[in-house]
Structure 1
Amino acid sequence: MTDRRQLEWLWLSAVLGPGAAHCGQVLALYGTPGELYEAVGKEDMSGLLTPAQLRRAEQLTPERFSPLLARCHHMGVRVLCQDEEDYPARLAALSDAPPVLYCTGDVSALSQPAAVAMIGSRRPSSYGVEAAALIGGQLAQAGVCLVSGLADGLDSEAHKAAVAAGAPTVGVLGTAIDKTYPVTNRRLRSEMEQGCGAVISEFAPGEATGAGGFLQRNRIIAALADAVCVVEARQKSGTMNTVGHAKRYGRTVFAVPGAIFSPLCGGTNQLLEEGQAYAAPSAAPILRHLGIEPAPQKSVSRRARPAAPTLSAEAKAMQKALTSQAQGLEPLAKAAGLSAGQALAALMELEVSGIAVSGAGGQYRRV
């Protein structure tokens, strides 16, 4: 049986459009999407809705969204409406919260008692990758939910740290819920969903989105967290856009101190210089802010190296080919004398063993 209530929320989402800038104002006046729908054509809404929104309100009906709701059920996509218990409370309280969220994976990840957004460059330095792995690992081991954008670079490092620790994590997409971008993160997304993580989007299955979708999702990343940690970012970047939303929502911002000569650290260092963020050389200050006592840390600040594992012949060949400089699959395969398939399997083996680390653009380097 079709849920009329959910259809009305889908209708409201379509009427307001991406960003839902004044969803809270609409609901404050009318209470529910159903009450708004009943008032369309009977009341003057020109001061509340834009001309485009008003046209959609008049032309669309809740019943039109029955096929979308059925498709979501068929795909295993959870439709979370603002009035539902599983809709994240941190987000529901905001004036520009999406009327509807589409979710795959473990929905409980959206309502963890402690959550931190880890954000940063899609093309990070090796320093940024190690810092994200270290701080993300410490937060995840303390049971903190890590929120990020499932993008290349430092987003991926945050999610990987959570998966490795068996901790909850939330990936917020800037695309339709049934599209993973970049496609190279499909495996990571699957690991998140099969563990205790969730992936969400305000865009329905098959919905076309442009570059603006990634900027719109930044507000959701900031809203879902109690604090935001900027690992590495340029002064002008999407990461700094997320920081702006965090400030708007009253979220505490932390930044990892970076090299003063690196443009990749320009944004983080500026935040610290201007007093807009607290320094986070480790997860300890973030955990204390959350009311969690940090575990005693070892004196070594870099990622701990495991005992030497037993490697396959292909992995040993690849280990010799790896350097401290990140390289793509093709040159590494050539240097190791392996086929592309063998090289990829060897790199995965080395990454699991803690010998190699993957970075942005599918590049690998020695730890």
Structure 2
Amino acid sequence: MAALISAAQPKPEFVFDLGFEYCFDNREFDAGGETFIESSTIHAARLTPAFGVALPVSANVTHRILAGIDIFKDMGASPTSEDLQSSVNTGLFREMTLWYGLDATLPNSTLKACAGIFPRRFSVFGSSDTPSADMPGRDIPTLFISDALRFYDSNIEGILIASSRPGSYYEVSLDWLGLFGSRRREQFIVQSYGKGSILPWLSAGWVASIHHYANSFEYSGVVDDVTVSPFLSFSLDRLFPCLDRTALTFHYIQGIHQDRRNSTGLEPAFGGQATLEIRKRNIGVKNEIYYGMGQMPYYDVPGPDGLPYGSALYRGNPFYRISKGLDWKAPGMYDRLEFYYQPVVAGFLNLRLATCLHFTGNGFEGWQQKLCLVVNLDNFRIRNRS
């Protein structure tokens, strides 16, 4: 009887998940007087090894538990202190990762779930620099998460649930950003993305974000930041068969903002964005143009500590402020033009060289030169030879 029971039990397998990211992003915004973003250089590398156990309970369902560490280094920055005699490098270890994962294959769909502290790349709000035209998340405006934040805030602390069917993908996540404490605000963000095919050349979907920015031990005052963006995406590949990808996407962007401390009430912000992406083999152009009200109304508003809310509240591209200061209701324009070279090196290796030019109603604001190298070895199984 014991032999029969043990034979029926699933056998656990050792698995590992390994990610490596290298980013060089030189930002020069002197042309626009550094109105929205200060000139700087992001030059850093990250290694995220994780090890754990996979339990395949059936041919279609697998449970996983993994634990790892986030090793990160800003190039040129000491990981410890001003003491040049110090050889302790514990400052390189930013945080632990530990999560439960579920992979299930259903009759007409797949289901993936994560709970704990896990890499943001599992989400469509992680890295969107991918050569695959069908990869979901390529049409998420940088209003929802900036390029810098994708890289620096590389882990989600909470829950992720994603489901995919032929021609569609849906996702929702909860990221707990701050635990109530001394000089640390309680805050969390709920993000959702969905996209489904209507016709072979037409897809519809949404991007949504709810950010709750609450109190700390010393200061009170709650800010609610809600942004919802339904969109239509048109594939123009049939009209331009000589190109590998031609896509046109229209977003309607609706922001709802409230600063309860200043009793602003619910303040809406309206806008629209058109995105055109063209790619031939490894070379592509992507242009995003937004017109509407500023989507970060309290960016320059002083909080209860006297400091502007700034990037602590708004996690997106600061150019969506449209105008600096408090005149965010006046409509304006922002245009982001990107040229990139992205060869397909290997399925687990992603290399991208790009330059981004930024324009507003005042003209040319500045540009970026970027080099990104990403290696992902996800859920590789270590099988027992016996």
TM-score of the superposed pair, with normalisation by structure 1: 0.27
Larger strand proportion, structure 1 or 2? 2
Question: TM-score when scaled to structure 2?
Answer: 0.26
The structure carrying a bigger helix percent of its residues is 1
**Which one has more relative contact order, counting CA pairs under 8 Å at least 6 apart?**
2
